[in-house]
Structure 1
């Protein structure tokens, strides 16, 4: 798979240059913008495949950019921001960001997040696979059957719906509210406890070692992420 074209929207020249040089070393096609206005212009002009977005831009808040882009595009957006509060991460992810990296960061971590997004983009290009396989986990979508090492595992309807949601968005951090809305059909903070209970039951059924989660990773205070690494 060819390396992606990445648009960096970041007003800190040092950070922008640091990311650009690192990506260029891995043969990514990089475009940079130092403001929201310039970033949106270059998005429409250069058709990037991934956006790396700072929230503290000089002309507009980055959260507004996520919201605006999500009105007409599903392009993966990786937020790289100095805002490290839990509420900022949740808001960005709820608005549609694909991932969130807090400054200061290691470039290796950002590269790993980019590779996860690229794998997710690649998977979207497949013609509706009927069976999902990852390690010792197999999910037959047509038969709604889940197996661990070839042995059937019984999931309740809610557990199966939750697993499918996580798999379909693998690599992406899903907030508690997002999961509740898509599994239960509405959003409510009071259901976070119910989500934790169902998640614990699902993990118990599909994870061989509950002390070191293979598939479902907890993003503390934010939500969950399915990993196929």
Structure 2
């Protein structure tokens, strides 16, 4: 007699823009303990540090000792502010954070692919590869980040058959989740180029931060759910403590 086997779901907690400071020692311990009770994996969607100092990453690494679940993260623009991103990366890797930059990691039944992403604008207002070299360089950065995301998702497809795919970003892949910010800065909040591999590779959901006064939820042109889990947005939406739970 056949029995219905209930598929175990993975609970994903997600937050971005935690902006840890050197004065934050002890501030995050209870937060990470609570996350560990509520979820199976924690996603940190960029701007892990406030001003891009390695010392801030060291505080975060110490606080993360109270987190007993796997942590998957990408860096954000604040983490690049002082050009200490290599030092920040080294500190967090020592704390066993899965820090993704065109990489992927499979945990349970979920494959996570991550990049920082970049700006460039959305849809018909997306900046094109035309004009001065500085403009072309700006657009090329967005193209490169999109290609890195595509490569990371492709590796999950080639190595794991029965795996659901999640994209972890800092910059937004769609316009809908940055709405609320001044329209003049939309080109600096994300790029539709990031949505292309998300749509084509049949991603289940994408998470990002960066737009502190954007919108919590949107979807790509192919219906893939996108969540802006910037900490200020989660707080505004009443999440206490501020982390978003998504089940796969």
Please confirm whether the aligned pair reaches a TM-score higher than 0.5, indicating the same fold: no
Structure with the greater relative contact order (CA < 8 A, sep ≥ 6): 1 or 2?
Answer: 2
Higher Rg: 1
TM-score by length of 2: 0.27
Whichever structure has more helix as a proportion of its residues is: 1
- TM normalised by structure 1 equals 0.29
